[in-house]
Amino acid sequence: SQQGEEDPQALSIQEGENATMNCSYKTSINNLQWYRQNSGRGLVHLILIRSNEREKHSGRLRVTLDTSKKSSSLLITASRAADTASYFCATDAAAAGNKLTFGGGTRVLVKP
Amino acid sequence: KAGVTQTPRYLIKTRGQQVTLSCSPISGHRSVSWYQQTPGQGLQFLFEYFSETQRNKGNFPGRFSGRQFSNSRSEMNVSTLELGDSALYLCASSWQGNNEQFFGPGTRLTVL
């Protein structure tokens, strides 16, 4: 079974709006990462947040991590059409053999 | 710095054949991981190689194998292809394996 599960599975918003997606996981982690994938292409790393961190920012991206709830969220502010992509969380956990385990992804559509 | 390259980009094979995919990591990266991505199963970890040794392995049958050369380039091989092996195969390189990963564009394998 997958360590990370994203919610929602799909999201449709207007340009300029914020997009929020969540990731829940099952076991204690070393770090959690977010990736973006444009249709049928390779993944691009967005942010890595370590288990002892609670929030990180990168440009229009904000990631939070709540280890007590075993969940993380990715917020994209002021979305653009170019943000249309699938977003995946990936966890690094000792219980999973310290290999990255990806969730099912959230498909985001930003309408111009 | 050149990115991760994968060859070939597209491949069509028939059931029962075998296939070899190649991945050249970013210069200096010693870890190479392989993933299979399908609409039904999502992103699934195949294996990771670090300094020519397989360090981690996912839950795939023995038909899936890989290796890494002394220059960190990696190959994966799938023998006795099945229809269900049709997928996007992604390679990713990193310094250590469970931190930020840099993905290649993928090889789209179609098994007829």
pLDDT 10s digits, B19-58: 999 999 999 999 999 999 998 888 999 999 999 999 989 9
Chain A contact probe: residue of B43, B93, B101 with most A CBs at under 10 A: B43
Chain B contact probe: residue of A99, A102, A107 with most B CBs at under 10 A: A99
In this complex, do B88 and A99 lie within 8 Å of one another by their Cβ atoms? no
Q: In the Cβ-directed half-sphere of A14, how many Cα atoms lie within 13 Å?
A: 1
What's B98's DSSP letter? S
B35 CA: distance to closest CA in chain A (Å): 10
In this complex, do A42 and B4 lie within 8 Å of one another by their Cβ atoms? yes
pLDDT number for residue A1 = 43
Q: Where is pLDDT greater, at A3 or B6?
A: B6
pLDDT number for residue B31 = 93
- b/e code B23-41 from CB counts within 10 Å (16+ = b): bbbbeebbbbbbbbbeeee
**Residue A27 CA from chain centroid, whole number:** 17
Average pLDDT over residues B69-93: 97
Q: DSSP E strands: which ranges in A2-105?
A: 5-7, 10-14, 19-24, 31-37, 43-50, 55-58, 61-66, 71-76, 85-92, 100-102
User: Which positions in chain A touch B104 (Cβ < 8 Å)?
Assistant: 42
pLDDT of residue A15 exceeding 50: yes
Whether the link from the prior residue into B39 is cis, omega within 30° of 0, is: no
Please name the residues between 2 and 41 in chain A that touch chain B, using a CB distance below 8 Å: 2, 30-31, 33, 35, 40-41
pLDDT number for residue A41 = 84
pLDDT of residue B76 exceeding 50: yes
**Residue A72 CA from chain centroid, whole number:** 7
pLDDT number for residue A3 = 62
B17 CA: distance to closest CA in chain A (Å): 24
What's A3's DSSP letter? S
Tokens for A12? 């449709």
User: Which positions in chain B touch A98 (Cβ < 8 Å)?
Assistant: 56, 97-98
pLDDT of residue A4 exceeding 80: no
pLDDT of residue B65 exceeding 90: yes
Whole-angstrom distance, CA of residue B48 vs CA of residue B53: 8
